[in-house]
Structure 1
Protein backbone atom coordinates (compact mmCIF):
# COMPACT_ATOMS: atom_id res chain seq x y z
CA UNK A 1 0.00 0.00 0.00
CA UNK A 2 1.36 3.41 -0.97
CA UNK A 3 2.32 5.65 1.91
CA UNK A 4 0.04 8.69 2.24
CA UNK A 5 1.95 11.98 2.74
CA UNK A 6 1.53 13.51 6.19
CA UNK A 7 -0.07 16.71 4.86
CA UNK A 8 -2.69 14.72 2.93
CA UNK A 9 -3.35 12.52 5.94
CA UNK A 10 -3.83 15.60 8.14
CA UNK A 11 -6.39 16.97 5.67
CA UNK A 12 -8.25 13.64 5.64
CA UNK A 13 -8.35 13.55 9.43
CA UNK A 14 -9.62 17.11 9.68
CA UNK A 15 -12.36 16.42 7.11
CA UNK A 16 -13.29 13.25 9.03
CA UNK A 17 -13.44 15.28 12.25
CA UNK A 18 -15.92 17.68 10.61
CA UNK A 19 -18.18 14.77 9.67
CA UNK A 20 -17.97 13.23 13.13
CA UNK A 21 -18.66 16.55 14.84
CA UNK A 22 -21.71 17.00 12.61
CA UNK A 23 -22.95 13.49 13.38
CA UNK A 24 -22.09 13.16 17.08
CA UNK A 25 -21.32 16.62 18.41
CA UNK A 26 -17.96 17.78 19.70
CA UNK A 27 -17.98 15.53 22.75
CA UNK A 28 -19.02 12.52 20.68
CA UNK A 29 -16.34 13.09 18.05
CA UNK A 30 -13.76 10.91 19.76
CA UNK A 31 -10.32 10.44 18.30
CA UNK A 32 -11.13 6.78 17.71
CA UNK A 33 -14.25 7.63 15.72
CA UNK A 34 -12.37 10.26 13.73
CA UNK A 35 -9.55 7.85 12.90
CA UNK A 36 -12.03 5.17 11.83
CA UNK A 37 -13.91 7.66 9.65
CA UNK A 38 -10.64 8.64 7.97
CA UNK A 39 -9.71 4.97 7.57
CA UNK A 40 -6.50 5.64 9.49
CA UNK A 41 -4.86 3.96 12.49
CA UNK A 42 -5.45 5.78 15.78
CA UNK A 43 -1.68 6.05 16.16
CA UNK A 44 -1.54 8.02 12.92
CA UNK A 45 -4.02 10.55 14.25
CA UNK A 46 -1.94 11.02 17.39
CA UNK A 47 1.18 11.36 15.26
CA UNK A 48 -0.42 14.08 13.12
CA UNK A 49 -2.09 15.85 16.05
CA UNK A 50 -0.46 15.62 19.46
CA UNK A 51 -3.71 16.50 21.27
CA UNK A 52 -7.41 16.67 20.50
CA UNK A 53 -7.22 20.41 21.07
CA UNK A 54 -4.62 20.68 18.29
CA UNK A 55 -6.89 18.69 15.98
CA UNK A 56 -9.86 20.90 16.76
CA UNK A 57 -7.79 24.05 16.17
CA UNK A 58 -7.04 22.67 12.70
CA UNK A 59 -10.76 21.96 12.23
CA UNK A 60 -11.62 25.61 12.99
CA UNK A 61 -9.02 26.79 10.50
CA UNK A 62 -10.33 24.35 7.89
CA UNK A 63 -13.97 25.40 8.32
CA UNK A 64 -13.07 29.09 8.23
CA UNK A 65 -10.99 28.49 5.10
CA UNK A 66 -13.85 26.66 3.38
CA UNK A 67 -16.18 29.54 4.19
CA UNK A 68 -13.68 32.00 2.75
CA UNK A 69 -13.38 29.98 -0.45
CA UNK A 70 -17.16 29.93 -0.88
CA UNK A 71 -17.31 33.70 -0.62
CA UNK A 72 -14.43 34.21 -3.05
CA UNK A 73 -15.99 31.80 -5.55
CA UNK A 74 -19.21 33.81 -5.48
CA UNK A 75 -17.61 37.23 -5.91
CA UNK A 76 -19.23 38.21 -9.22
CA UNK A 77 -17.25 41.48 -9.43
CA UNK A 78 -20.48 43.38 -9.93
CA UNK A 79 -21.97 46.40 -8.19
CA UNK A 80 -22.79 46.27 -4.48
CA UNK A 81 -26.36 44.96 -4.72
CA UNK A 82 -25.53 42.28 -7.28
CA UNK A 83 -22.44 41.20 -5.35
CA UNK A 84 -24.20 41.05 -1.95
CA UNK A 85 -26.96 38.89 -3.46
CA UNK A 86 -24.42 36.57 -5.09
CA UNK A 87 -22.49 36.16 -1.83
CA UNK A 88 -25.62 35.37 0.18
CA UNK A 89 -26.97 32.98 -2.44
CA UNK A 90 -23.60 31.27 -2.73
CA UNK A 91 -23.34 30.64 1.01
CA UNK A 92 -26.91 29.35 1.24
CA UNK A 93 -26.38 27.02 -1.71
CA UNK A 94 -23.19 25.80 -0.04
CA UNK A 95 -25.09 24.98 3.14
CA UNK A 96 -27.68 23.09 1.09
CA UNK A 97 -24.99 21.06 -0.65
CA UNK A 98 -22.85 20.51 2.47
CA UNK A 99 -25.10 19.98 5.51
CA UNK A 100 -22.19 18.43 7.44
CA UNK A 101 -20.36 21.73 7.38
CA UNK A 102 -23.36 23.66 8.65
CA UNK A 103 -23.96 21.20 11.47
CA UNK A 104 -20.27 21.15 12.38
CA UNK A 105 -20.02 24.94 12.41
CA UNK A 106 -22.96 25.27 14.81
CA UNK A 107 -21.57 22.53 17.06
CA UNK A 108 -18.08 24.04 17.07
CA UNK A 109 -19.26 27.57 17.82
CA UNK A 110 -21.51 26.40 20.68
CA UNK A 111 -18.72 24.28 22.12
CA UNK A 112 -16.11 27.04 21.82
CA UNK A 113 -18.35 29.51 23.62
CA UNK A 114 -18.65 27.10 26.54
CA UNK A 115 -14.87 26.79 26.62
CA UNK A 116 -14.49 30.59 26.70
CA UNK A 117 -11.98 30.33 23.89
CA UNK A 118 -11.48 32.53 20.85
CA UNK A 119 -11.96 29.81 18.23
CA UNK A 120 -15.63 30.68 17.72
CA UNK A 121 -14.63 34.16 16.65
CA UNK A 122 -12.37 32.75 13.95
CA UNK A 123 -15.16 31.68 11.60
CA UNK A 124 -16.97 35.00 11.92
CA UNK A 125 -13.78 37.05 11.68
CA UNK A 126 -12.80 35.12 8.57
CA UNK A 127 -16.22 35.69 7.02
CA UNK A 128 -16.23 39.41 7.88
CA UNK A 129 -12.63 39.83 6.73
CA UNK A 130 -13.51 38.28 3.37
CA UNK A 131 -16.99 39.71 2.76
CA UNK A 132 -16.31 43.34 3.60
CA UNK A 133 -13.42 43.87 1.13
CA UNK A 134 -15.47 42.20 -1.61
CA UNK A 135 -18.38 44.60 -1.05
CA UNK A 136 -16.05 47.58 -0.72
CA UNK A 137 -14.28 46.69 -3.97
CA UNK A 138 -17.66 46.27 -5.69
CA UNK A 139 -18.70 49.77 -4.64
CA UNK A 140 -15.43 51.27 -5.84
CA UNK A 141 -15.51 49.45 -9.18
CA UNK A 142 -19.12 50.49 -9.80
CA UNK A 143 -18.49 54.09 -8.79
CA UNK A 144 -20.93 53.85 -5.89
CA UNK A 145 -20.40 55.93 -2.76
CA UNK A 146 -21.36 53.98 0.36
CA UNK A 147 -20.11 54.96 3.80
CA UNK A 148 -18.04 52.59 5.88
CA UNK A 149 -20.70 51.97 8.52
CA UNK A 150 -23.22 50.91 5.89
CA UNK A 151 -20.72 48.49 4.35
CA UNK A 152 -20.16 47.06 7.83
CA UNK A 153 -23.91 46.71 8.33
CA UNK A 154 -24.38 45.03 4.95
CA UNK A 155 -21.58 42.59 5.78
CA UNK A 156 -23.36 41.72 9.02
CA UNK A 157 -26.74 41.35 7.30
CA UNK A 158 -25.33 38.88 4.76
CA UNK A 159 -23.78 36.84 7.58
CA UNK A 160 -26.85 36.94 9.82
CA UNK A 161 -29.24 35.95 7.02
CA UNK A 162 -27.05 33.04 5.95
CA UNK A 163 -26.79 31.85 9.57
CA UNK A 164 -30.56 31.93 10.01
CA UNK A 165 -31.11 30.04 6.80
CA UNK A 166 -28.49 27.43 7.76
CA UNK A 167 -30.07 26.77 11.15
CA UNK A 168 -33.55 26.40 9.69
CA UNK A 169 -32.27 24.03 6.98
CA UNK A 170 -30.44 21.88 9.52
CA UNK A 171 -33.52 21.62 11.74
CA UNK A 172 -36.13 20.81 9.08
CA UNK A 173 -34.01 19.33 6.23
CA UNK A 174 -36.83 20.03 3.79
CA UNK A 175 -35.01 20.70 0.53
CA UNK A 176 -38.13 21.84 -1.31
CA UNK A 177 -38.98 24.38 1.39
CA UNK A 178 -35.34 25.44 1.60
CA UNK A 179 -35.30 26.32 -2.10
CA UNK A 180 -38.25 28.64 -1.53
CA UNK A 181 -36.57 30.06 1.56
CA UNK A 182 -33.42 30.88 -0.41
CA UNK A 183 -35.49 33.31 -2.49
CA UNK A 184 -37.33 34.64 0.56
CA UNK A 185 -34.03 35.32 2.33
CA UNK A 186 -32.70 37.12 -0.74
CA UNK A 187 -35.90 39.17 -0.71
CA UNK A 188 -35.18 40.24 2.87
CA UNK A 189 -31.69 41.31 1.79
CA UNK A 190 -33.19 43.26 -1.14
CA UNK A 191 -35.59 45.05 1.22
CA UNK A 192 -32.75 46.00 3.57
CA UNK A 193 -30.63 47.28 0.69
CA UNK A 194 -33.56 49.27 -0.71
CA UNK A 195 -34.05 50.89 2.70
CA UNK A 196 -30.38 51.58 3.39
CA UNK A 197 -28.37 51.82 0.17
CA UNK A 198 -30.52 54.21 -1.87
CA UNK A 199 -29.60 54.10 -5.57
CA UNK A 200 -26.82 51.61 -4.79
CA UNK A 201 -29.51 49.02 -4.01
CA UNK A 202 -30.33 48.89 -7.73
CA UNK A 203 -27.83 47.15 -10.03
CA UNK A 204 -25.92 49.77 -12.04
CA UNK A 205 -27.06 48.36 -15.38
CA UNK A 206 -30.68 48.48 -14.27
CA UNK A 207 -30.39 51.90 -12.68
CA UNK A 208 -29.38 53.34 -16.06
CA UNK A 209 -32.66 52.09 -17.55
CA UNK A 210 -35.04 53.19 -14.79
CA UNK A 211 -36.19 56.84 -14.55
CA UNK A 212 -35.68 58.34 -11.12
CA UNK A 213 -39.41 59.00 -10.63
CA UNK A 214 -40.34 55.39 -11.27
CA UNK A 215 -38.07 53.81 -8.66
CA UNK A 216 -39.86 52.35 -5.66
CA UNK A 217 -39.18 54.02 -2.34
CA UNK A 218 -37.66 51.94 0.49
CA UNK A 219 -41.07 52.03 2.22
CA UNK A 220 -42.85 50.75 -0.90
CA UNK A 221 -40.26 48.01 -1.32
CA UNK A 222 -40.66 46.89 2.30
CA UNK A 223 -44.49 46.94 2.05
CA UNK A 224 -44.28 44.85 -1.12
CA UNK A 225 -42.08 42.27 0.61
CA UNK A 226 -44.30 42.07 3.68
CA UNK A 227 -47.38 41.73 1.50
CA UNK A 228 -45.76 38.87 -0.43
CA UNK A 229 -44.76 37.09 2.78
CA UNK A 230 -48.29 37.44 4.14
CA UNK A 231 -49.81 36.04 0.95
CA UNK A 232 -47.47 33.04 0.96
Structure 2
Protein backbone atom coordinates (compact mmCIF):
# COMPACT_ATOMS: atom_id res chain seq x y z
CA UNK A 1 0.00 0.00 0.00
CA UNK A 2 1.34 3.43 -0.96
CA UNK A 3 2.36 5.60 1.95
CA UNK A 4 0.16 8.66 2.46
CA UNK A 5 2.21 11.89 2.73
CA UNK A 6 2.12 13.65 6.11
CA UNK A 7 0.65 16.82 4.56
CA UNK A 8 -2.30 14.86 3.20
CA UNK A 9 -2.70 13.09 6.52
CA UNK A 10 -2.89 16.47 8.28
CA UNK A 11 -5.75 17.46 5.97
CA UNK A 12 -7.48 14.18 6.82
CA UNK A 13 -7.09 14.88 10.53
CA UNK A 14 -8.38 18.45 10.15
CA UNK A 15 -11.51 17.28 8.34
CA UNK A 16 -11.97 14.49 10.88
CA UNK A 17 -11.61 16.97 13.75
CA UNK A 18 -14.36 19.14 12.24
CA UNK A 19 -16.74 16.17 12.25
CA UNK A 20 -15.79 15.03 15.76
CA UNK A 21 -16.03 18.52 17.26
CA UNK A 22 -19.45 18.95 15.66
CA UNK A 23 -20.67 15.65 17.12
CA UNK A 24 -18.98 15.64 20.54
CA UNK A 25 -17.97 19.23 21.25
CA UNK A 26 -14.48 20.43 22.07
CA UNK A 27 -14.18 18.43 25.29
CA UNK A 28 -15.30 15.26 23.57
CA UNK A 29 -12.97 15.67 20.61
CA UNK A 30 -10.31 13.27 21.83
CA UNK A 31 -7.33 12.38 19.68
CA UNK A 32 -8.53 8.77 19.62
CA UNK A 33 -11.91 9.76 18.19
CA UNK A 34 -10.29 12.04 15.64
CA UNK A 35 -7.91 9.30 14.54
CA UNK A 36 -10.79 6.83 14.21
CA UNK A 37 -12.80 9.36 12.17
CA UNK A 38 -9.79 9.83 9.87
CA UNK A 39 -9.38 6.03 9.62
CA UNK A 40 -5.83 6.32 10.87
CA UNK A 41 -3.99 5.00 13.89
CA UNK A 42 -3.33 7.18 16.90
CA UNK A 43 0.42 7.02 16.40
CA UNK A 44 0.07 8.67 12.98
CA UNK A 45 -1.93 11.55 14.50
CA UNK A 46 0.77 12.11 17.12
CA UNK A 47 3.40 11.93 14.38
CA UNK A 48 1.65 14.74 12.48
CA UNK A 49 0.78 16.83 15.54
CA UNK A 50 2.68 17.28 18.78
CA UNK A 51 -0.54 18.05 20.64
CA UNK A 52 -4.27 18.45 20.23
CA UNK A 53 -3.75 22.20 20.57
CA UNK A 54 -1.59 22.14 17.43
CA UNK A 55 -4.29 20.24 15.57
CA UNK A 56 -6.96 22.68 16.73
CA UNK A 57 -4.79 25.56 15.51
CA UNK A 58 -4.93 24.05 12.01
CA UNK A 59 -8.68 23.55 12.35
CA UNK A 60 -8.93 27.26 13.19
CA UNK A 61 -6.99 28.08 10.03
CA UNK A 62 -9.26 25.77 8.02
CA UNK A 63 -12.36 27.54 9.33
CA UNK A 64 -11.03 31.05 8.70
CA UNK A 65 -9.84 29.93 5.27
CA UNK A 66 -13.37 28.89 4.32
CA UNK A 67 -14.63 32.38 5.19
CA UNK A 68 -11.81 33.97 3.19
CA UNK A 69 -12.70 31.84 0.17
CA UNK A 70 -16.32 33.01 0.28
CA UNK A 71 -15.29 36.66 0.59
CA UNK A 72 -12.61 36.50 -2.08
CA UNK A 73 -14.95 34.72 -4.50
CA UNK A 74 -17.30 37.72 -4.47
CA UNK A 75 -16.81 40.03 -7.47
CA UNK A 76 -15.31 43.33 -6.27
CA UNK A 77 -16.36 45.03 -9.52
CA UNK A 78 -20.09 44.72 -8.87
CA UNK A 79 -22.12 47.14 -6.78
CA UNK A 80 -21.85 47.30 -3.00
CA UNK A 81 -25.29 45.72 -2.65
CA UNK A 82 -24.45 42.85 -5.01
CA UNK A 83 -21.15 42.17 -3.27
CA UNK A 84 -22.78 42.17 0.16
CA UNK A 85 -25.49 39.79 -0.97
CA UNK A 86 -22.99 37.49 -2.70
CA UNK A 87 -20.93 37.23 0.48
CA UNK A 88 -23.97 36.72 2.70
CA UNK A 89 -25.37 34.03 0.43
CA UNK A 90 -21.96 32.40 0.21
CA UNK A 91 -21.57 32.14 3.98
CA UNK A 92 -25.11 30.88 4.47
CA UNK A 93 -24.66 28.32 1.68
CA UNK A 94 -21.44 27.18 3.33
CA UNK A 95 -23.43 26.57 6.51
CA UNK A 96 -26.17 24.67 4.68
CA UNK A 97 -23.65 22.55 2.79
CA UNK A 98 -21.97 21.44 6.01
CA UNK A 99 -23.79 21.46 9.35
CA UNK A 100 -20.59 20.04 10.86
CA UNK A 101 -18.62 23.07 9.70
CA UNK A 102 -21.30 25.34 11.19
CA UNK A 103 -21.31 23.60 14.56
CA UNK A 104 -17.53 23.40 14.72
CA UNK A 105 -17.15 27.10 13.91
CA UNK A 106 -19.27 28.16 16.88
CA UNK A 107 -17.66 25.57 19.15
CA UNK A 108 -14.15 26.77 18.28
CA UNK A 109 -14.87 30.46 18.80
CA UNK A 110 -16.40 29.79 22.23
CA UNK A 111 -13.54 27.46 23.17
CA UNK A 112 -10.92 30.00 22.10
CA UNK A 113 -12.56 32.70 24.19
CA UNK A 114 -12.56 30.43 27.24
CA UNK A 115 -9.05 29.06 26.82
CA UNK A 116 -7.11 31.77 25.05
CA UNK A 117 -8.85 35.02 25.82
CA UNK A 118 -8.49 37.27 22.81
CA UNK A 119 -7.76 34.52 20.31
CA UNK A 120 -11.44 33.95 19.60
CA UNK A 121 -11.87 37.69 19.10
CA UNK A 122 -8.84 37.75 16.78
CA UNK A 123 -10.38 35.12 14.50
CA UNK A 124 -13.61 37.09 14.32
CA UNK A 125 -11.71 40.34 13.76
CA UNK A 126 -9.80 38.82 10.85
CA UNK A 127 -13.03 37.77 9.16
CA UNK A 128 -14.57 41.21 9.68
CA UNK A 129 -11.48 42.95 8.30
CA UNK A 130 -11.55 40.81 5.14
CA UNK A 131 -15.25 41.56 4.86
CA UNK A 132 -14.72 45.32 5.18
CA UNK A 133 -12.00 45.25 2.53
CA UNK A 134 -14.22 43.41 0.03
CA UNK A 135 -17.11 45.79 0.66
CA UNK A 136 -14.90 48.86 0.39
CA UNK A 137 -13.58 47.71 -2.99
CA UNK A 138 -17.14 47.58 -4.28
CA UNK A 139 -18.23 50.90 -2.79
CA UNK A 140 -17.96 54.13 -4.70
CA UNK A 141 -16.67 57.33 -3.11
CA UNK A 142 -20.13 58.34 -1.98
CA UNK A 143 -20.26 55.58 0.67
CA UNK A 144 -18.76 56.77 3.94
CA UNK A 145 -16.43 54.41 5.87
CA UNK A 146 -18.82 54.20 8.87
CA UNK A 147 -21.47 52.74 6.55
CA UNK A 148 -19.01 50.06 5.42
CA UNK A 149 -18.25 49.20 9.06
CA UNK A 150 -21.94 49.01 9.90
CA UNK A 151 -22.67 46.89 6.83
CA UNK A 152 -19.96 44.41 7.80
CA UNK A 153 -21.53 44.13 11.26
CA UNK A 154 -25.07 43.72 9.87
CA UNK A 155 -23.92 41.10 7.37
CA UNK A 156 -22.03 39.12 10.03
CA UNK A 157 -25.01 39.31 12.39
CA UNK A 158 -27.41 38.03 9.74
CA UNK A 159 -25.05 35.18 8.85
CA UNK A 160 -24.48 34.21 12.49
CA UNK A 161 -28.19 34.27 13.27
CA UNK A 162 -28.85 32.12 10.23
CA UNK A 163 -26.17 29.67 11.37
CA UNK A 164 -27.72 29.26 14.82
CA UNK A 165 -31.21 28.80 13.32
CA UNK A 166 -29.88 26.24 10.85
CA UNK A 167 -28.16 24.28 13.63
CA UNK A 168 -31.32 24.34 15.72
CA UNK A 169 -33.85 23.20 13.12
CA UNK A 170 -31.82 21.69 10.26
CA UNK A 171 -34.61 22.15 7.72
CA UNK A 172 -32.93 22.83 4.35
CA UNK A 173 -36.12 24.00 2.60
CA UNK A 174 -36.86 26.53 5.35
CA UNK A 175 -33.20 27.57 5.43
CA UNK A 176 -33.27 28.46 1.72
CA UNK A 177 -36.33 30.63 2.28
CA UNK A 178 -34.55 32.31 5.17
CA UNK A 179 -31.56 32.98 2.93
CA UNK A 180 -33.83 35.05 0.68
CA UNK A 181 -35.27 36.87 3.71
CA UNK A 182 -31.81 37.72 5.06
CA UNK A 183 -30.66 39.05 1.69
CA UNK A 184 -33.80 41.20 1.47
CA UNK A 185 -33.14 42.53 4.98
CA UNK A 186 -29.55 43.40 4.06
CA UNK A 187 -30.64 45.17 0.87
CA UNK A 188 -33.39 47.12 2.66
CA UNK A 189 -31.00 48.17 5.42
CA UNK A 190 -28.38 49.31 2.92
CA UNK A 191 -30.88 51.29 0.85
CA UNK A 192 -32.19 53.01 3.95
CA UNK A 193 -28.74 53.65 5.40
CA UNK A 194 -27.17 55.08 2.27
CA UNK A 195 -30.21 57.27 1.66
CA UNK A 196 -29.82 58.71 5.15
CA UNK A 197 -26.12 59.53 4.69
CA UNK A 198 -25.32 62.59 2.56
CA UNK A 199 -22.99 61.90 -0.33
CA UNK A 200 -19.36 62.79 0.30
CA UNK A 201 -18.65 66.06 -1.48
CA UNK A 202 -16.08 65.92 -4.24
CA UNK A 203 -13.24 68.38 -3.95
CA UNK A 204 -13.20 70.87 -6.80
CA UNK A 205 -9.98 72.21 -8.16
CA UNK A 206 -9.60 75.93 -7.69
CA UNK A 207 -9.44 77.91 -10.87
CA UNK A 208 -6.18 79.66 -11.59
CA UNK A 209 -6.04 83.11 -10.03
CA UNK A 210 -8.97 82.42 -7.64
Query: Paired residue for 1:138?
Result: 138
TM-score, with structure 1 as normaliser: 0.80
Q: Structure 1: which 4+ aligned runs deviate by more than 4 Å?
A: none
**How far did residue 77 of structure 1 move?**
2.8
Q: Name the CA shift for 1:191/1:36 in 2 (closer, same or farther; >3 Å).
A: same
Larger mean Cα displacement after TM superposition, 70-79 or 9-18? 70-79
- The answer to whether the 8 A contact 1:63-1:123 is kept is no
Matched, 1:57 2:57: yes
**Match of residue 127 from structure 2:** 127
Query: Is 1:195 the counterpart of 2:195 in the alignment?
Result: no
SS of equivalent residue, structure 1 residue 197? helix
Tell me, in whole angstroms, the C-alpha distance in 2 between the residues paired with 1:17 and 1:191: 39
The residue aligned with 2:77 is 77
Q: How does 1:3-82 map to 2 (within 5 A)?
A: 3-75=3-75, 77-82=77-82
Following the alignment from structure 2 to structure 1, what is the Cα–Cα distance between the partners of residues 70 and 137? 17
> Is residue 76–residue 86 contact of structure 1 (8 Å, CA) maintained in 2?
no
Task: Give the conservation status (yes or no) of the 8 Å contact 2:76–2:134.
Answer: no
Q: Which runs of 5+ in 2 are unaligned?
A: 198-210
Equivalent-residue separation in structure 2 for 1:4 and 1:129 (angstroms): 37
Q: 2:180 aligns with which of 183, 203, 221?
A: 183
For residues 122 and 100 of structure 1, what CA distance do their matches in structure 2 show? 22
- Is the Cα contact below 8 Å between 2:84 and 2:155 reproduced in 1? yes
1:156 pairs with 2:130: no
Superposed, 1:83-122 pairs within 5 Å as 83-122=83-122
Which string of whole-angstrom CA distances, capped at 9 and with x for unpartnered residues, describes residues 133-169 of structure 1? Answer: 1111111xxx442111111111111111100001000
The answer to whether the 8 Å contact 1:103/1:170 transfers is yes
- Give the deviation of 1:87 after TM superposition: 0.8
Mapped partners of 1:75, 1:22: distance in 2: 31
Distance 1:121 1:11 in 2: 25
C-alpha change, 1:175 and 1:76, in structure 2 (3 Å) is: farther
SS across alignment from 2:75: coil
Gaps of 5+ in 1: 201-232
